[in-house]
Amino acid sequence: MKRKVYTIVLIAFVFTAFFAVRPVYRLCLTNPVDGKTVKSFPIRNGEEFTIRFIHSVERTPWIEKFEIINDNQIYLKETVTFSFGAGLPTYSENFSFEEEGMTISDINEKMDHLIYKVGGVIANHTLVYRGKNYYFSDYIEPFKSAGVEVVRRPLYRFLIEEVTNIG
């Protein structure tokens, strides 16, 4: 009987320790004003996501492609535009004309913070992740800021947040 109690206590301890220290990484769409996550997705090193929107001045599509690398950090890998003009990238050695637009590739720039102003009329900011479109305006009011970041949480905290956000 004593051995059974010790075994149960040991299993409970190992289980608790696993939940306390094992991290979970999430790609989060956040409200930068209060820091609250409004939508999140599981993410791993090597995965990619895209942000698409209509440029506010040129009124043409804009595509930014990102990859998660170096311990779950966001890196800008490529930008695709469909016109030249104010506020748009200029020529670089990694510039090419592709079927999907004018592409600047191999950027490899670490992005500490991604913040977008959610458009109210034209922009239609969209997160494309694992083949699905997630419209910023479904989660954040138009003309408000939206952040995109990778968040590291202990597994137990993530589970609590998921359970409390059900509904």
pLDDT digits (tens, 9 = 90+) for 95-115: 666 777 777 888 889 998 899
**Residue 86, C-beta contacts closer than 8 angstroms, at least 6 positions apart:** 57, 58
6-29 pLDDT, tens digit per residue, is 677 667 666 666 666 678 888 999
- Amino acid at position 135, single letter: Y
Residue 63 tokens read as 């595509």
Phi-psi region for residue 106, left (φ > 0), alpha (ψ -120 to 50) or beta? left
Mean per-residue pLDDT over the chain, rounded: 82
* pLDDT at residue 71 in the model: 74
Can you tell me the distance from the alpha carbon of 53 to that of 72, in angstroms, rounded to the nearest whole number?
Answer: 24
Q: What is the pTM of this model?
A: 0.79
DSSP state of 118: P
* pLDDT at residue 159 in the model: 72
Which carries the bigger pLDDT value, residue 102 or residue 142? 142
**What residue spans define the domains of the chain?**
25-164
